[in-house]
C-alpha cells in the first residue's frame, strides 16, 4: 500500500467542541473543498443528510452532482464508485447501516480490493466506504454489526476506525487522500459525544499516519488495546482503575488493517500484561490476531496470558440485552484483575 498524508497543524488553528458525527462532516467538507473530484454517494445522503445527518448541508453547498442520492442497492453503489475511481474521481460511499454492507461484500472483496494488484499497479481505486458500525443505539441485528474483521482479512483493503472526534475529522481526510480503497468504520454509538476538534489540522506530507496506533493514555501496569467505540470504554476503565492505584496504558489502534504492531509491542514490553477490547465477536476477531502477535514478540516479557474482552459468539441481541453483550467498564476491569493476578 502507498503512503498517505500526515497530520500537520496549519498556521491558523481553530478548535471547537464537536460531536463525533459533525467532526466527520467537517472532514468531508474540507476534503470536498480541497479537491473537486471528491464526491459522496449513498442512500438518503442528499436533502436528508443521511440517517445520522453526517452529510447534512453538503448537497446544498456542493450540489447534487457531488452529493448523490442513490437507489437502495449497495452492490450497485460500490460498483459505480469503483468505476468512477478508475476515471479519476474519489468517491466516498455511505453504507446506511453496518449490516447492509453484505450485499456489497462481493464488490468490495473481489473487485475493489484486487483491482490494483490485478492491473499490476496500473490502476488505483481511491474509494472510501463509510460504515456506521457497532452497538449502543438500541437497535437490533443488521443495525449493530461489527464486521471489520471480515474486511481486514482481505488483502488490498485498508480498514480503519477513529476513536475520537479529532481523529474522525483528520482520518476521513487521510482516507480520501489514500490511493487505496478504505473501509472507514464509524462508531455510531459515539456519534453524539462531543470532543475538541482542531479544524486547522490538515492532512499533508508523506508519512502514513492513517496506519499509526497512538497511546491514548500512558500507564505502567497493564496495556489495554482498543479501537473505535471501545476506546472511550478503555479510557473510562483507566480512570476507574487509577482510583484503585492501577495504571492502565490505553492504545488506540486506529487502523485495523494494516495493524501497527510495533506500538502495541513497545507498550506490552514495558507493562508485561495486555487486554484487548472490541465489540466484535471475540472468536476469530482482531483480538485473536493481536494476542498472537503480542505472544510471538513479547513472550519473555509477558507476566500473564493476553486476554480478550469482546462480543459473544451470538447474533447481536435485542436492545434490552445489548448492555450485557457489549464490553463494559466492569468486564474490562475484570480482565485487568485477572492479568494482574498472575
Domains belonging to the chain, first-starting first, are: 18-198 (3.40.50.970), 214-341 (3.40.50.920)
Q: Which of 88, 180, 76, 164 lies closest to 128, judged by CA?
A: 180
Q: Quote the pLDDT of residue 203.
A: 78
Which position among 65, 116, 143, 342 bears the catalytic label?
143
Helix-, strand-, coil-residue percentages of the chain, each rounded to 5 = 40, 20, 40
Q: How many CB atoms lie under 10 A from the CB of residue 79?
A: 17
Q: Find the length of the chain.
A: 342
342 is catalytic: no
Residue 123 to residue 100: CA distance in whole angstroms: 28
- For residue 313, the 8-state DSSP code is S
Q: Quote the pLDDT of residue 7.
A: 54
Alpha carbon distances (Å) from 261 to 158, 252, 256, 264, 295: 15, 12, 10, 5, 12
Q: How many CB atoms lie under 10 A from the CB of residue 121?
A: 9
The owner of cell 473505535 is 228
Q: Which of 78, 59, 49, 287 lies closest to 182, judged by CA?
A: 78
Q: Identify the H or E element spanning 25.
A: helix 20-34
Q: Which residues of the chain have pLDDT under 50?
A: 1-6, 11, 206
Q: Quote the pLDDT of residue 6.
A: 43
pTM of the model: 0.94
- Contact by Cβ (8 Å): 215, 251: yes
Amino acid at each position: 500500500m502507498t503512503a498517505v498524508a500526515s497530520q500537520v497543524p496549519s498556521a491558523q488553528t481553530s478548535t471547537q467542541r464537536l460531536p463525533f458525527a459533525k467532526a466527520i462532516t467537517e472532514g468531508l467538507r474540507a476534503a470536498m473543498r480541497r479537491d473537486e473530484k471528491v464526491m459522496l454517494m449513498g442512500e438518503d445522503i442528499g436533502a436528508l443528510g443521511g440517517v445520522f445527518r453526517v452529510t447534512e448541508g453538503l448537497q446544498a453547498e456542493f450540489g447534487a452532482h457531488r452529493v448523490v442520492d442513490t437507489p437502495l442497492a449497495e452492490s450497485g453503489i460500490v460498483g459505480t464508485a469503483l468505476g468512477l475511481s478508475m476515471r479519476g474521481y474519489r468517491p466516498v460511499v455511505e453504507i446506511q447501516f453496518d449490516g447492509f454492507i453484505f450485499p456489497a461484500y462481493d464488490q468490495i472483496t473481489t473487485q475493489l480490493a484486487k483491482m490494483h494488484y490485478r492491473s499490476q499497479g496500473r490502476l488505483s481505486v481511491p474509494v472510501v466506504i463509510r460504515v456506521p458500525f457497532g452497538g449502543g443505539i438500541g437497535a437490533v441485528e443488521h443495525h449493530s454489526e461489527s464486521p471489520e474483521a471480515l474486511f481486514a482479512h482481505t488483502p488490498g483493503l485498508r480498514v480503519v476506525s477513529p476513536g475520537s472526534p479529532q481523529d474522525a475529522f483528520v482520518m476521513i481526510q487521510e482516507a480520501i487522500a489514500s490511493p487505496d480503497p478504505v473501509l472507514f468504520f464509524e462508531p455510531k454509538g459515539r456519534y453524539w459525544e462531543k470532543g475538541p476538534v482542531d479544524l486547522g489540522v490538515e492532512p499533508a506530507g508523506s508519512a502514513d499516519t492513517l496506519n499509526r496506533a497512538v497511546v491514548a493514555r500512558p500507564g505502567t501496569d497493564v496495556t489495554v488495546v482498543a479501537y473505535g467505540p471501545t476506546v472511550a470504554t478503555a479510557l473510562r476503565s483507566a480512570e476507574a482503575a487509577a482510583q484503585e492505584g492501577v495504571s492502565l496504558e490505553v492504545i488506540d489502534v486506529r487502523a485495523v488493517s494494516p495493524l501497527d504492531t510495533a506500538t502495541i509491542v513497545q507498550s506490552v514490553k514495558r507493562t508485561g500484561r495486555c487486554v484487548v477490547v472490541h465489540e466484535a465477536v471475540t472468536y476469530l476477531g482482531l483480538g485473536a490476531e493481536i494476542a498472537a502477535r503480542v505472544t510471538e514478540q513479547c513472550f519473555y516479557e509477558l507476566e500473564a496470558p493476553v486476554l480478550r474482552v469482546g462480543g459473544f459468539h451470538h447474533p447481536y441481541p435485542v436492545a434490552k440485552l445489548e448492555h450485557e453483550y457489549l464490553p463494559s467498564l466492569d468486564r474490562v476491569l475484570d480482565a485487568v484483575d485477572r492479568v494482574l493476578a498472575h
